Amino acid sequence: MQVTALTMASLDLSSQEKYRAELTGLLKKSGTGLAVLPAYSALLLGVSTGAIPPAESFQKTFKDYIDRHLTWNDTYLELHEKIAREMDIYLAAGTVIEREKDLLYHTVYCFNPQGEPCLRQRQTHLTPFQLSIGLSRGEELPLFDLPPYKVGIIVDSDALHPETGRILGLQGADIVLHCGALSEGLNCWRQVAGMWSQVQQNQFWAVEAQLSGNLAGERFGAAPAVIGPCEITPGKSGYLQRGYPHTAEVTAELDEAARRELIRKYPLLKLLNWQAYSELYREES
Amino acid sequence: MALDGFIEKIYRRYMVWKCRPSRVAAHLDKSLPGERKVPLQDGRRKIRVAALQLKLKLLKSPLHFADEMHRQVRKAVDRQARLAVFPEYNSLPLLGMLPGFEKIEEGYRKKAAGSPNNGSKKGSEDENSLVDVFKYMSPAVQPLVDITFSRLAKAYGIYIMAGSYPLAYNGGLFNRSFLYGPGGQLIGSQDKVHLFIDEAKWDLKRGSSFSIYETAIGNLALPVCMDATYFETFRILEHKGAEIALLPIADMQEYNYWLALRGIWPRVQESLLYGVKGALVGTLAGLVFSGRAGIFAPLELTPQQDGVLAEVNTDSDEAITVAELDLDALQELRQNHPWRDTNQALYSRYFPALYRQD
């Protein structure tokens, strides 16, 4: 299967129509069956199209989005539902902030080729900034079926918490989609410490979308990538494809037979020693 | 391989006698300094540490082993290190004590010529033989290691993570690392908790818990090689208060930058510890060992923001590298970290059942 990681770089975001046309053009060209948009995509498109007025800082804009403009989510999700259907692909639509019972979550919706949501994934670990503006942690990491694969999603800074990948890996995830956003000032190593490291210790594929561009004064810039276990990637680098922060998308073909053969020979997760791990969690009574 | 015949039993007694602590101590004492060489540091908790990379060569005598370890420690001391870290399987050179091993080794080497291991394995018969040999040598190796590193640590007044050794305990073979203090005392040990797949096939026994040791140079932990493949190891060490993880490795594959990156480097990023890696390199019986000894830290604590404080520049030769660790800076980073969080509700929901599934 062909998979695609996007950055939103070089897309015309000035109107929904132009965005839709350029994104579908990009996806058509890539021939992908599964595409992933980065974190903060709803906010970026909202600000760029004028649906969310930009404030003096990213933080303030984010807060305004939460306080006054969450209705934009409906428009945003409907748009991506249509794109998934039109392109006949699975589409992880970046992130929105959603409110449920007075709690706010940073969430990815993934749509199937029928345009139906096949997974909703909330960010489970939050940064000090995200906590300060009142976001809550998700408490589930489910998978969805995309035969023959099982697919999970990792949201934003969850990539830097290895517990997330391990939970997905132990549930049998074959592919993990990552909607990420890293500040431009960080070098590539922060990103390597995230999804690349998660892939290597769980032996799944990862499709890593990263936000690129200016969002209300905050510059984001990390590279999109399709990642696999080192042994089955060119140069044993762990990268099937890796772009630059200004790259609009990267697409790669997954060789699932090779991955399964690797796991058969080198079953990393079978060599876990859970008897030694009781300190990592509290047993639910 | 049967190593329980009359001749083998006699030879083992001979090896134990040759490795007896009094003999090794007397030998070392001839060349050791009379006073501590490395001064204690005051003020901010900054520790200079050395990561050693040893090249495999067979040694015929336990005294040669003691001399070789002494030479390595002196290199660390000459660079003002207060802590030296040795590699995994640091007793492999002692296979040279076995009569005829060089010939056996040469046979293996020829058999493997033209097809270096690249992570592949030799036949199971050979592997089992190796386990039998480790068990056979264990009564001689353990006292030799103990007296050698105890004496060296005391003579130079430094901490030494002596590397790890396949040693027999209670009928099983464990891969165990050791830490010695500047008084010459054995501070503690750690059995490898996660086995490499070949070790699992060899029926090595694995440890079931992690220990940390509070010392004057910080809280130290001694996970072994493959333990750094799993985030759980370093997360538990962090929870227990570890500040520096001392990791011996003997990586049985041709060197590749990305493959080598998969161990201690991501673990110190995830769990905010310093990591010091001692590496064994070279070839033995046709098997290639490669690596790069190094000293690693969270990105924020490294000058290039790349997580590397120091790394040797060869993956196949003897080398040493040193760096200074700032434990106060580590604590400050832990308290004011830009993205770290925890989610016990999530972990409790999933981990108990997932870890226990087959």
B306 and A187 in contact by Cβ < 8 A?
yes
The answer to whether A125 touches A95, Cβ cutoff 8 Å, is no
B270 and A160 in contact by Cβ < 8 A?
yes
Tokens 């080794």 appear where?
A: B105
A163 and B305 in contact by Cβ < 8 A?
no
Whether B171 has a pLDDT exceeding 50, the answer reads yes
B197 and A271 in contact by Cβ < 8 A?
yes
Token pair for residue A53? 């007025």
A273 and B193 in contact by Cβ < 8 A?
yes
Cα B2 to Cα B6, B129, B133, distances in angstroms: 11, 8, 9
Whether B119 has a pLDDT exceeding 50, the answer reads no
Report yes or no on B254 lying in a domain. Answer: yes
Confidence of residue B42 (pLDDT cuts 50, 70, 90): low
Give tens-digit pLDDT for B44-77: 689 999 999 999 999 999 999 999 999 999 999 9
CA distance B110 to chain A (A): 26
CA distance B91 to chain A (A): 25
Report yes or no on B173 lying in a domain. Answer: yes
Token pair for residue B348? 């409790």
Confidence of residue B289 (pLDDT cuts 50, 70, 90): very high
The answer to whether B190 touches B132, Cβ cutoff 8 Å, is no
Summary mean pLDDT of chain B: 91
Angle at B232 between CA A207 and CA B350, to 5 degrees: 70
Alpha-carbon torsion (A191, A193, A195, A199), positive or negative: positive
- Number of structural domains (chain B) is 1
pLDDT computed for residue B44 by the predictor: 66
Tokens 């070392």 appear where?
A: B28
Token pair for residue B177? 């690392």
How far is residue B241's CA from residue B211's CA, in Å, rounded to a whole number? 10
How far is residue A151's CA from residue A148's CA, in Å, rounded to a whole number? 10
Preferred mutation among A150, A160, A269, A280 to probe B, highest tally of B CBs within 10 A: A280
Confidence of residue B358 (pLDDT cuts 50, 70, 90): low
Tokens 């203090």 appear where?
A: B181
Share of chain B above pLDDT 70, in %: 92
Strand B83-85 to B46-55 pairing: parallel
Token pair for residue A147? 């035969």
Strand B159-169 to B83-85 pairing: parallel
CA distance A231 to chain B (A): 8
Whether B122 has a pLDDT exceeding 60, the answer reads no
pLDDT computed for residue B127 by the predictor: 57
Confidence of residue B126 (pLDDT cuts 50, 70, 90): low
Angle at A134 between CA A129 and CA A137, to 5 degrees: 85
φ/ψ region of A71 (left if φ > 0, alpha if ψ in -120 to 50, else beta) reads alpha
Burial (0-12, 13-18, 19+ Cβ within 10 Å), B26: exposed
Q: Which of B258, B299, B342 is closest, CB to CB, to A237?
A: B258
Q: Tens-digit pLDDT profile for chain A (285 aa)? A: 999 999 999 899 999 999 999 999 999 999 999 999 999 999 999 999 999 999 999 999 999 999 988 999 999 999 999 999 999 999 999 999 999 999 999 999 999 999 999 999 999 999 999 999 999 999 999 999 999 999 999 999 999 999 999 999 999 999 999 999 999 888 899 999 999 999 999 999 999 999 999 999 999 999 999 999 999 999 999 999 999 988 999 999 999 999 999 999 999 999 999 999 987 876 665
Give tens-digit pLDDT for A58-114: 999 999 999 988 999 999 999 999 999 999 999 999 999 999 999 999 999 999 999
The answer to whether A8 touches A180, Cβ cutoff 8 Å, is no
Chain B residues closer than 8 Å to A189 by CB: 299, 305-307
Respond yes or no on whether the N-terminal peptide bond of residue A267 is cis (omega within 30° of 0): no
The answer to whether B295 touches B323, Cβ cutoff 8 Å, is yes
CA dihedral A67, A72, A78, A83 (to 10 degrees): -120
CATH of the domain at B159: 3.60.110.10
How far is residue B227's CA from residue B229's CA, in Å, rounded to a whole number? 5
A170 and B350 in contact by Cβ < 8 A?
yes
HSE value, Cβ hemisphere, 13 Å, CA-based, for B247 = 33
The residue of chain A with its CA nearest to that of B269 is A193
B346 and A139 in contact by Cβ < 8 A?
yes
Angle at A14 between CA A10 and CA A20, to 5 degrees: 70
Preferred mutation among A157, A231, A265, A271 to probe B, highest tally of B CBs within 10 A: A271
pLDDT computed for residue A14 by the predictor: 96
Host H or E run for residue A256: helix A256-265
A139 and B240 in contact by Cβ < 8 A?
no
CATH of the domain at A216: 3.60.110.10
The residue of chain A with its CA nearest to that of B235 is A280
CA distance B186 to chain A (A): 24
How far is residue B323's CA from residue B66's CA, in Å, rounded to a whole number? 25
Report yes or no on B1 lying in a domain. Answer: no
Amino acid at A128: P
How far is residue B51's CA from residue B65's CA, in Å, rounded to a whole number? 19
| Residue B39: Cβ within 10 Å count | 9
pLDDT computed for residue B2 by the predictor: 64
Q: Which of B259, B266, B355 is closest, CB to CB, to A274?
A: B355
Chain A residues closer than 8 Å to B207 by CB: 276
* SS3 per-residue string spanning A48-111: HHCCCCCCCCHHHHHHHHHHHCCCHHHHHHHHHHHHHHHHCCEEEEEEEEEEECCEEEEEEEEE
In this structure, what are the phi and psi dihedrals at residue B198, rounded to the nearest 5 degrees? -65, -40
How far is residue A214's CA from residue B53's CA, in Å, rounded to a whole number? 46
> What's the full length of chain A, in residues?
285
CA distance A7 to chain B (A): 21
Q: Which of B239, B305, B340 is closest, CB to CB, to A279?
A: B239
Q: Which of B258, B340, B356 is closest, CB to CB, to A230?
A: B258
Domain extent at residue A199: 2-280
Report yes or no on B282 lying in a domain. Answer: yes
In this structure, what are the phi and psi dihedrals at residue A202, rounded to the nearest 5 degrees? -130, -10
Contacts of B39 (CB under 8 A, 6+ apart): none
Chain B residues closer than 8 Å to A284 by CB: 348-349, 352
Domain extent at residue B321: 6-356
Amino acid at B334: R
Q: Which of B208, B229, B350 is closest, CB to CB, to A201?
A: B229
Confidence of residue B34 (pLDDT cuts 50, 70, 90): confident
Q: Which of B226, B259, B343 is closest, CB to CB, to A230?
A: B259
3-state secondary structure of B221: strand
CA distance A94 to chain B (A): 20
Confidence of residue B39 (pLDDT cuts 50, 70, 90): low
Tokens 């897309």 appear where?
A: A11
Report yes or no on B286 lying in a domain. Answer: yes
A236 and B307 in contact by Cβ < 8 A?
no
Report yes or no on B318 lying in a domain. Answer: yes
Helices (H), B119-256: 124-156, 197-201, 231-239
Mean pLDDT of B104-126: 61
Mean pLDDT of B234-246: 97
HSE value, Cβ hemisphere, 13 Å, CA-based, for A186 = 22
The residue of chain A with its CA nearest to that of B261 is A197
Q: Which of A192, A196, A273 is closest, CB to CB, to B194?
A: A273
Token pair for residue B6? 């009359």
pLDDT computed for residue B123 by the predictor: 45
C-beta pairs of B331-334 under 8 Å, 24+ apart in sequence: B333/B272, B333/B298, B333/B300, B333/B301, B334/B272
Give tens-digit pLDDT for B295-321: 999 999 999 999 999 999 999 999 999
Size of interface A-B (CB pairs under 8 A): 147
- Number of structural domains (chain A) is 1
B261 and A192 in contact by Cβ < 8 A?
yes
Mean pLDDT of B240-251: 97
